[in-house]
Amino acid sequence: MDYRDRLRELRLQNKKGQKEIARLCDVSDATVGHWEKKRRHMTIGCLIKLCKYYNTSADFILGFTDIPIQLTDLHPDPAQETSRREKSS
C-alpha cells in the first residue's frame, strides 16, 4: 500500500476532513488532496506530526507494516514504568 493511500484511510477512519489535516501540517487543504491523489509527497515534519496525531508509528503510515503500532507502545512513559516496577516489587 502506498503511504498516501494509508493517509487517506487514516483520515477517513478518524472522521477527519482534509482541512483538519492541512491545519495540523500547516499546509493548504489542496496540498492534502494532492498527497492523497499521489501528485505530491509530504515532508518528514508532517509525517512526524501525523504519527503523533494518529498515535501510530511511521512504519504503519509509510506502509512498511500493516500493524498499527501505537507510539505509547514504542516509548513507554518513564514515570509509568517506574510506578509499575515499584508495584511489582
Give the residue, 75 or 7, on which the prediction is more confident: 7
Give the residue, 80 or 72, on which the prediction is more confident: 72
Given CA atoms 29, 72, 15, 7 in this order, what sign does their dihedral have? Answer: positive
Give me the pLDDT at residue 72, please. Answer: 73
Q: Domain containing 43 — which CATH number?
A: 1.10.260.40
Give me the pLDDT at residue 83, please. Answer: 53
Give me the pLDDT at residue 10, please. Answer: 95
Domain extent at residue 36: 3-88
At residue 61, does pLDDT exceed 90? yes
What value does the mean pLDDT of the chain take?
A: 86
What total number of domains does the chain contain? 1
